Amino acid sequence: MYGSEIWYRDTAIINRKILSLQRNALRNITKTYKTVSTLSIQVLAGINPLDLSIKFHQEKFRLIKLKTDILINDELLIASNVNVPPPRVPPWRGRRIFWNIGHSNVNMNNESNFNYYTDGSKIDGRTGCGIALFRGGEEIKTLSIRLNNDSSVFMAEAYGLLEAQSLTDSTTPVHIFTDPMSVLKSLEVVNDRFQIITDIKTISEN
């Protein structure tokens, strides 16, 4: 219901009014008798109780728009850890990053080349990513980054790529080697599903 994120309060009176409105609409759909319970009509129509749907959207509004941490089933959801798709942009404004697969023509032993290798993984419920920097075939730096346990492998691989970009000097050409196909495919898409993909594209263009 429009604006329910603002006006809704989880009280018995408001919930009864909401379910009463839903009941009238569902009875017109299912053509049931007046004596049939609201719960039964909801089951027949395959529609969730309206008060629960409103509660869901209100909590989602608090989490995503207001950036407020919420508690669901004794589990705390941290607003800053929730991945929210960035706003959709017109196709003509979309950005793509193209990449090469297979053997590269980059000379690994060229001392003027900075080569980054990135990867992400999830083992025993622990998620993280790793970055290794080589120059002229010699290892210069390695970095391991621990992510939240609820982070996906996709996010770990994308974060490793983002961190490798942030470590590079904008005046020095670098090569980044990585193997997460899902992340690479996301870089080719015009509209991004994840903010981290948008961030990777932004850094790549600078």
CATH of the domain at 125: 3.30.420.10
Query: By percentage, how much of the chain surpasses pLDDT 70?
Result: 92
Q: Which of 58, 80, 102 corresponds to the end of one domain?
A: 80
Query: pTM (2 decimals)?
Result: 0.62
Give yes or no: residues 124 and 48 share one domain.
Answer: no
User: Residue 104 — pLDDT band, cuts 50, 70, 90?
Assistant: low
Count of CA atoms in the C-beta half-sphere (13 A) of 130: 8
Q: Which of 26, 58, 80 corresponds to the end of one domain?
A: 80
Q: Would 126 be classed as within a structural domain?
A: yes
Full residue range of the structural domain in which residue 157 is found = 114-204
Q: Which of 59, 80, 101 corresponds to the end of one domain?
A: 80
Sign of torsion, CA 157 164 93 194?
Answer: positive
Mean pLDDT within 137-145: 88
pLDDT, tens digit, 9 for 90 and up, residues 155-196:
999 999 999 988 877 667 788 888 888 998 889 888 788 888
135 beta partners: 114, 138
Place of tokens 């850094």: 203
Of the listed ranges 23-37, 116-130, 180-194, the least confidently predicted one is: 180-194
172 alpha carbon, distance to own chain's centre: 31
Q: Would 198 be classed as within a structural domain?
A: yes
Give yes or no: residues 67 and 136 share one domain.
Answer: no
Q: Would 106 be classed as within a structural domain?
A: no
Number of domains into which the chain is organized: 2
Q: Are 129 and 119 in contact (CB under 8 A)?
A: yes
pLDDT, tens digit, 9 for 90 and up, residues 71-90:
878 878 787 777 777 777 77
